[in-house]
Structure 1
């Protein structure tokens, strides 16, 4: 069912309507076959870019949509309710555009940003390494200064859109210690860069997740974003917003699971009654709806704080924690509502359940979110 959204402007309402129409036409009709066959949706991200959906929260002066974050996140939720992998990749692209937008020079922005925000160049975010996921300060991938630029050597891991993206926000070490990580806008194809095979995942299979192997690839000096050693502050400044993106994706996924469960409960009969009319089942659906609505309210609260220029780090962690835990519970309950049918691949709820699990893990595990939240209670 269509979510009754409280949007700040008529323009935002029109944008949501456009997104729903496009998602119903281009995402909902393709998701089942592409996910089953682990087939990449060629041309789809270019289509999203042409519709203006890949640069929504960025300023119009850079070619973005100039939309508040609360509107962008609701667009992301609409995409996720049809195809979670595409919504997650869209969120990652938005995350990958942040370093250049916030820390790039005017010349760098003019050179690359318009094509990135128009979706002509689709991005990936390359922070994690095999031994450095939650602990970003433990990065080992090296960026050695050489004549004309930097030589990159090392392995990166868990890259959404790995091998498919046109650029990567790459974080590599230019010096020892926590202040020795730098940020680069790396091209998606360069001599000395190769990718591993796609990870064999539980879900989100239509968009690959891979490792990247940098074997002395040379990046031009103007690929450095910000100053040397500024990489971790750049990465962390983007992650709060990225966590909101995942919260919105998780909410959309949970909404889809709820919608399927409600539709099934209204059609299936037992003991001469629709199963929705049995109080035990009706109460379960009520709890699922409360969890989805709470998730949406939580991420919108954080987004509105961001839009007002107020601190929102704790609220972003809360939103990511609440929404992804809720998605795991709601999708599991949707399988329960459908009974044996829910356990088969004839219905999408088993896929929703598999897709929900990763959302508790990436953009900082939910244990890390609890750590971020709890640290703000410590007195100085």
Structure 2
């Protein structure tokens, strides 16, 4: 993008090379085997990518939404699954600790998360509470200098490998009586239960976390009781912006594959790129990719300059994954039988991107946020 600064351009070149060397070559194999690319994850730490938004005081890079989205975009182009695990670690765990934890908690947890010595996750969703996150029922009850947590968390990215879980719990019966804890692997009563097998994002480990009288020290509480809603809102905008970067990467990969195939594949004595119906697919696809790119990165820049907005984050999250699903379908159609086969990664792109229409808030929830906010603002005073 023309408005990237020198640091952002350098970052883009670095992560593009890393993705093509470390993620792309094994993406298909890891998808088939549901295998987490932990070696690449550790190398991300060596490059300073695991704390991209964290304070340099703790080893982070101190960068913003634009930089974080560049990484999601370039990694998503190569392997969306690995990128989802990267997002869960850097945005859902590290960035939450950076924004909400005390200085002592940051000093204790961030350095190892940022180097990759430790892997992080965020535990919010429950078996019976997905979109209705504030209805969660995992309970935390205080007893002296400890809290005892009971309940379970479902669909947790990185659950099996996580050393640190940024965990939301209920500490009262009121809607907003939610409290956050940093729960460490090895905490008595806290354990990983089972892996979940998914349609897409198969190289990103997903599982269930269980709390059975899990004994968590008071010092691991993030903020005060009842602060969780505030914590959630602070991070959701960035989560929705950056996960949309994964969809942009997938869409760009689809376009590049279509351009290459349309120039190589011949039917009726000429390349299929010479047929107007194929040209229309490519023209529409490229136009949508450019619109997505400019929309996403302009919102990132606004975010970095303090112009944050719940509605525009929801609009990005609604638009980009949805457009990318259609781009994946069009790319498969252009490739014909080869697009439908597993010889090409297009079917994986489609399976992976579908998650982005569900995670971090479903399309339907994004519609509710956008419409309700705009209608409320338009009401006569």
TM bucket, shorter chain? over 0.9
Q: Given the alignment of the two structures, is residue 355 of structure 1 paired with residue 352 of structure 2, yes or no?
A: yes
Aligned to 2:362: 365
Q: 1:167-190, CA deviations, whole angstroms, 9 ceiling, x for partnerless residues?
A: 111000111112210011111332
Aligned to 1:280: 277
Aligned to 1:308: 305
Aligned to 1:333: 330
Aligned to 1:144: 141
Q: Given the alignment of the two structures, is residue 59 of structure 1 paired with residue 55 of structure 2, yes or no?
A: yes
After TM superposition, the score normalised by the length of structure 2 is 0.95
Q: Given the alignment of the two structures, is residue 20 of structure 1 paired with residue 35 of structure 2, yes or no?
A: no
Match of 2:238 among 238, 241, 254: 241
Which ranges of structure 1 fall in alignment gaps of 5 or more residues?
none
CA contact (8 A) 2:148 2:216 kept: yes
Q: 1:126-147, CA deviations, whole angstroms, 9 ceiling, x for partnerless residues?
A: 1111111111110100011123
Q: Given the alignment of the two structures, is residue 189 of structure 1 paired with residue 198 of structure 2, yes or no?
A: no
CA contact (8 A) 1:164 1:188 kept: no
Query: Structure 1 residue 284: deviation in Å?
Result: 0.5
User: Helix, strand or coil: the match of 1:132?
Assistant: coil
Name the CA distance, whole Å, in 1 between partners of 2:146 and 2:95.
22
After TM superposition, the score normalised by the length of structure 1 is 0.96
User: Helix, strand or coil: the match of 1:219?
Assistant: strand
Q: 1:308-336, CA deviations, whole angstroms, 9 ceiling, x for partnerless residues?
A: 11232111111111110011001111110
Aligned length: 376
Q: Given the alignment of the two structures, is residue 69 of structure 1 paired with residue 69 of structure 2, yes or no?
A: no
Name the CA distance, whole Å, in 1 between partners of 2:106 and 2:64.
21
Match of 2:25 among 29, 37, 41: 29
Match of 2:95 among 85, 98, 102: 98
Structure with greater helix percent: 2
Name the CA distance, whole Å, in 1 between partners of 2:33 and 2:104.
42
Aligned to 1:259: 256
Match of 2:76 among 68, 77, 80: 80
CA contact (8 A) 2:241 2:317 kept: yes
CA contact (8 A) 2:138 2:152 kept: yes
Query: Structure 1 residue 274: deviation in Å?
Result: 0.8
CA contact (8 A) 2:152 2:211 kept: yes
Aligned to 2:162: 165
CA contact (8 A) 1:301 1:315 kept: no
Match of 1:297 among 294, 297, 316: 294
Name the CA distance, whole Å, in 2 between partners of 1:38 and 1:63.
31
